[in-house]
């Protein structure tokens, strides 16, 4: 009888322990790398604006280190905030944005409710149509719109071009479709039984909307509000085309048209104006950030 030796040892490769945490570490390193990169890209321009806004015109034109303020001054801020013109732009912007947000919400919330819940013939097609209108760029629309308002002016004698309130008719073409779309997604995520329960409890469609849907979909409503506000506040092309007189301008166009005189750029005030103009959306974001994020994620998972 011959004896057979059996090699009982296992595979020679060493077992790796903690590979899960190593993978995680690398994932974290990469994410921090890209996050840092992203932070630099997005934070450098406002930082540059802040630095420049604190410089006097002499220091800006002198070839010193652009990233350092040698003689800090609030001169630009004082000049802008005491200038009636700048405050006029600010008020125009504020009025336009507030009214546009109101109009948008008054139209898009009931529209979204109808499209999401009151199943009627063609409602699905209409919902897609709403989104498609949002995809048409404003650069394509401004000439036909301008023509339309010119014709309306000729026919009725009501002159809307070169009035700040013409923007109240134009901005909703951008905000209403998108806000409606957001709200459709939000309303669609509310269980069907909730409105059925309300209907059985004796609520009308309008009461179901105001007493159940709007409170339940409040995060989405806030997200839509912020969006509408941001779009109206930051819109540049339409006010540039539709308003020309200084007292009718809104902030973004006002800064450009009044602070650039020929080839002379008043950089200090331009930067200050841009910073001050960015303040209201920033404050709103800061307060409603949690709601806004909740709104974004809800839109992401539904519709």
Partner 1 sequence: MADVSLRKVVKRYDEVEAVRGIDLDIADHEFVVLVGPSGCGKSTTLRMIAGLEDISDGDIMIGGDVVNDVPPKDRDIAMVFQNYALYPHMTVAENMSFGLRLKHYPKAEIKSRVTEAARMLDITDLIDRKPKQLSGGQRQRVAMGRAIVRNPKVFLFDEPLSNLDAKLRVQMRIEIKKVHQKVCTTTVYVTHDQVEAMTLADRVVVMNHGRIEQIGTPNELYHKPATRFVASFIGSPAMNFVPCRLEDVGGKLNVRLTDRLSFPLPPARAARYQGLSRTDKLLLGLRPEHVMEARPHAEPGIEPFDAVLDVTEPMGMETLVYFTLEGSQLCGRVNPNAGAQDGSPLRLAVDLNNMHLLNEVTGAVL
Interface with partner 1 (CB under 8 A): 191, 193-194, 196-203, 207, 211-212, 215-216, 218
Q: Measured from the CB atom, is 109 or 198 closer to partner 1?
A: 198
CB atoms within 10 A of CB 39: 10
Would you say 123 and 114 are in contact if contact means Cβ atoms under 8 Å apart?
Answer: yes
**Cβ proximity to partner 1, 201 vs 290, nearer residue:** 201
Shortest Å, Cβ 193 to partner 1 = 4
What does the alpha-carbon distance between residue 183 and residue 109 come to, in Å, rounded to a whole number?
A: 7
Cβ proximity to partner 1, 212 vs 275, nearer residue: 212
- Mapping DSSP onto H, E and C, the string for 152-201 reads HHHHHCCCCCCCHHHHHHHCHHHHHHHHHHHHHHHHHCCCHHHHHHHHHC
Which is nearer to partner 1, 7 or 193 (by Cβ)? 193
Nearer to partner 1, 191 or 262 (CB): 191
Burial degree of 225 (CB within 10 A; 0-12, 13-18, 19+): buried
Q: What is the C-alpha separation between 181 and 116, in angstroms, rounded?
A: 10
Q: Which residue lies nearer to partner 1 by CB, 211 or 302?
A: 211
CB of 184 vs partner 1, minimal distance in Å: 20
Q: How far is the CB of 219 from partner 1 (least distance, A)?
A: 11
Positive or negative torsion for Cα 47, 53, 58, 61: positive
What is the length of the chain?
303
For partner 1, the closer of residues 196 and 290 by Cβ is: 196
Please give the Cα distance from 289 to 179 (Å, whole number). 17
Q: Taking the complex as a whole, how short is the minimal distance between the CB of residue 14 and partner 1, in angstroms?
A: 46
DSSP at 56? -
Q: Running DSSP on this structure, what letter comes out for residue 1?
A: -
Q: State the nearest-atom distance from the C-beta of 207 to partner 1, in Å.
A: 7
Alpha-carbon distance of 99 to 145, in angstroms, equals: 20
CB of 200 to partner 1, least distance (A): 5
List 264's β-bridge partners, or say none.
261
Least distance from partner 1 to the Cβ atom of residue 295, Å: 16
């Amino acid at each position: 009888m011959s004896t057979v030796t059996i090699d009982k040892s296992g595979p020679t490769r060493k077992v790796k322990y903690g590979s899960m945490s190593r993978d995680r570490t690398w994932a974290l390193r990469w994410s921090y790398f890209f996050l840092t990169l992203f932070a630099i890209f997005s934070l450098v321009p406002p930082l540059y604006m802040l630095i420049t806004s604190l410089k006097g015109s002499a220091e800006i034109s002198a070839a010193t280190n652009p990233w350092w303020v040698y003689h800090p001054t609030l001169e630009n801020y004082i000049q802008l905030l005491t200038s009636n013109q700048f405050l006029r732009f600010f008020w125009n912007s504020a009025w336009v944005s507030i009214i546009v947000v109101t109009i948008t919400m008054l139209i898009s919330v009931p529209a979204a409710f109808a499209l999401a819940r009151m199943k009627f013939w063609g409602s699905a097609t209409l919902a897609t149509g709403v989104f498609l209108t949002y995809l048409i760029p404003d650069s394509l629309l401004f000439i036909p719109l301008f023509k339309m308002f010119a014709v309306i002016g000729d026919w009725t004698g009501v002159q809307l071009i070169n009035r700040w309130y013409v923007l109240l008719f134009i901005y909703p073409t951008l905000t209403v479709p998108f806000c409606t779309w957001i709200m459709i997604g939000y309303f669609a995520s509310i269980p069907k039984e909730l409105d059925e329960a309300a209907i059985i409890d004796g609520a009308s469609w309008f009461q179901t909307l105001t007493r159940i849907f709007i409170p339940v979909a409040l995060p989405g409503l806030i997200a839509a509000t912020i969006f509408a506000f941001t779009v109206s506040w930051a819109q540049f092309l339409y006010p540039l085309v539709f308003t020309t007189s200084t007292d009718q301008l809104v902030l973004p166009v006002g800064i450009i048209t009044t602070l650039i005189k020929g080839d002379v750029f008043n950089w200090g005030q331009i930067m200050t104006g841009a910073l001050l103009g960015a303040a209201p959306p920033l404050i709103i974001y800061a307060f409603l950030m949690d709601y806004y994020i909740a709104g974004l994620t809800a839109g992401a998972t539904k519709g």
